[in-house]
Chain A
Amino acid sequence: MDLVQIARSNLEGFRYAGTEVALCVLIVALLLSGVILPFRKNRRLFLIISMLGLALAMTASLKQPGAGKGVRYFADLFLWDSFSVFFKLFFVAAAAFTILMAQMNREVEDYEFNECCLLVVSVTLGMVLLASSVDLLMIYLAFETMSLLSYLLVGIRFREARGGEAALKYVLYGAFTSGVMLFGFSLVYGLAGTTDIMEIGRILNSAHMAGQNRALFVLMVLFFLAGLLFKTASFPFHIWCPDVYEGAPTPVTAFLSVGPKAAGFAVFIRLFYTLFAREVGDQGFAAIEQVDWPAIVAVISAITMSLGNLSAIHQDNVKRLLAYSSIAHAGYLLMGIACLDKLGLEAVAFYLVVYLFMNLGAFAVVTAVNNGEGGEDIRFYRGLSARAPMACVAMAVFLFSLIGIPPFAGFVGKVFLFSAVILKKYYWLAIVAAINTVISLYYYVRLIKAMFIDQAEVSFEPRVSGVSYAVIGALALPTLVLGVYWQPLAAFIESIF
């Protein structure tokens, strides 16, 4: 290909890369406005810039590809299809809520707010690239963009002992697991001789591979899982999660629990359903013969949810409690991936959207409580309903939704997941998940009881500002609405797989 042709095809790619371009422009705008000294501590300015940029990114991703397989762009490194569009919208929304939460949060100091916005947007860029890339090289680079910058985001309060420890733990675990995953990538490349995952998928699923070494396939799957299970905070790479969630500023914790986690699931689906499975019929997939990875994922899912829920029972620190709850939810989501059909994937995507609202909502309330003289300990939540009734009601909505009680959105999400699992005849997994839901009832309700029934232990003034109420309300509304009127979202998600 001659140079003019390459340049032209790259320029053509910008038609599909609206989100990425908008985010890059936003990064530059934040960088430039951050160096102007008089603006240094102007939170409102950076908030407005970020919101404008993210709104631009949101509108740029709204354009839907029609039917068919989507369009490749930027030298075939990226794919523009409804799957990537869905996740782009998801990540941009997560970033917007995070920056709103950070704006009202006092853990992030004034002089840090610009960097906080900058890092959140850069991580979002990494996630957006990850959702649309279909080339091993690009997937790894986007994965690392997201990871490296989220380590920094965790360590933004590096001088505080907890922040430093959290960042260091995150880096060490992250570096190890992504190294192992990269080794897996190199094995796949060696076997297929190309980095294009669609091409690799065809080669790995073809009859040529029948006589190949089965041990190699097992090893490849395990190596891939290392990196992906780390990002989604699943067993056996979940150990970093509570410490990192506790040590990071609350908005950052909230962001990690939905953004990179969902990105982990997005790339999990993209890689495993392209490389190690092929479409069979209209609704289903068949795994490659050499290794029964859905069974491995199902077992990991059962262990992850049980471990997360059992460890959450004794937690008195609300952020640690939500960390274990997020491990448990990773377990529930893995059930959908183990199903190996479109119903399972749709359930995962639906649950992720619901999870975005309810989990960010719970963290938004934690942020609001932190802002007064309160803290993260459950002591501060005892008798809180007398002083901040609206925040407590909202928190109860988020927690009931996390348990999966009707009429909240979490219930609908769980119904989709459970029905996918049961239709696939994974009865044991459904039973484990049901038992886990009951266990989770205990610790979520314990927090609700503390807020509404217990006597106040510490008297402090929770300062819930108007903006906080607006953010909490904006997250509570979808949690309620999706619980009774989920049809449009379900229909939209059905169209992406």
Chain B
Amino acid sequence: MTPVQGLIRPDLVAKIGFGLVAAATFGGAIIAVFFRNIIHNVLGLALALFGVAGIFFYLGSPFLAFMELLIYVGAITITITFAIMLSKPIGGPLPERSFKKTLGAGSVCVLIFGLLSYIVMGTKWTPAAMRSSDWSVKAIGQMLLTKYDLVFELISLVLLVSILGAIVTARYGRGRVE
């Protein structure tokens, strides 16, 4: 063992890593809710979702972590940014934030958080049946194409029809321009 290796203690690294992940989640959420510039909000949301991906990684599910990055950070925040860009110009005067509304929203959130944590803490959860201890991407891929192949096919059908629907609703003045 080299002296450097002796200095790095794996459990400490893991703890620091988890701290970073939690900080990213929490900080991102704060930015997403409290900042006044809407673009900052979206970036805060992206940061929070990065943190959530990290939490999935810590829970031993790298596949879900990658999906979180791919779908939420990659696709959804970009879509939100596009929606903001297309809706109205940024930089106008912001309306005053009403204290009453903030208080109301805050107390509802605290209530829900309290209720959920009471339930999560007070329940004896059953771990998922260990059909296999292998939760790797390879195993998930194999399941998708064997046991869950119908699910897989159905998702592709839904996507296909949704794309058609998006085309139908987005194309301008069809049939009227003839």
A positions within 8 Å CB-CB of B: 1, 3, 6, 10, 24, 27, 31, 74-75, 77, 109-112, 115, 118-119, 122, 125, 129, 137-138, 141-142, 144-145, 148-149, 152, 155-156, 158-159, 167, 189-194, 203, 211-213, 215-216, 219
Q: Is the CB of B158 within 8 A of A75?
A: no
Q: Are B129 and A115 in contact (CB under 8 A)?
A: no
Contact A191 B125 (CB under 8 A): yes
Pairs A–B under 8 Å by Cβ, sample size 20: A27-B157, A74-B150, A77-B148, A109-B175, A111-B174, A112-B168, A115-B165, A118-B164, A129-B154, A141-B151, A141-B154, A144-B158, A145-B158, A149-B161, A149-B165, A152-B168, A152-B169, A194-B129, A211-B124, A219-B119
Q: B165 contacts which chain A residues (CB < 8 A)?
A: 115, 119, 149, 152, 155
For the complex, give the distance between the alpha carbons of A105 and B118 in Å. Answer: 54
Complex contact A75–B150 (CB within 8 A): yes
Cα–Cα, bound, A94→B20 (Å)? 55
Name the CB-closest residue of B to A137: B151
Cα separation A424 to B50 with both chains bound (whole Å): 53
A213 engages B123 (CB within 8 Å): yes
Given contacts A77-B150, A192-B126, contact A149 B158 (CB under 8 A): yes
Report A290 CB to chain B, min CB distance, Å.
Answer: 12
Given contacts A141-B154, A141-B155, A149-B161, contact A155 B128 (CB under 8 A): no
Q: Knowing A27-B157, A118-B164 are in contact, say whether A138-B151 is a contact too (CB < 8 A).
A: yes
A192 to B124, CA, bound (A): 10
Contact between A212 and B146, CB atoms less than 8 A apart: no
Residue of B nearest to A163 (CB): B169
Instruction: List the A residue with the shortest CB-CB distance to B124.
Output: A212
Nearest A residue (CB) for B162: A148
Q: Does B12 contact A (CB under 8 A)?
A: no
> A191 and B123 in contact (CB under 8 A), knowing A75-B150, A145-B154, A215-B118?
yes
Residues from chain B with a CB closer than 8 A to the CB of A194 are: 128-129
Residues in A neighbouring B124, C-beta threshold 8 A: 211-212
Cβ proximity bits B95-112 to A, threshold 8 Å, 1 near / 0 not: 000000000000000000
Residues in A whose Cβ lies below 8 Å from that of B127? 193
Which residues from A are CB-within-8-Å of B119? Answer: 213, 215-216, 219
Residue from A115, A148, A203, A215 within 8 A of B115 (CB atoms): A215
B6 sits at the interface (CB 8 A):
no
How would residues 158 to 178 of chain B score, 1 for a CB under 8 Å from any chain A CB and 0 otherwise? 100110110011001111000
- Residues from chain B with a CB closer than 8 A to the CB of A31 are 164
Contact B122 A215 (CB under 8 A): yes
Query: In the bound complex, how far is the Cα of B129 from the Cα of A189, in angstroms?
Result: 10
Chain B residues contacting A74 (CB-CB under 8 Å) are 150
Closest to A183 in B: B116
Measured between beta carbons, the chain A residues less than 8 angstroms from B154 are 129, 141-142, 145
Q: Once the chains bind, are A213 and B122 in contact (CB under 8 Å)?
A: yes
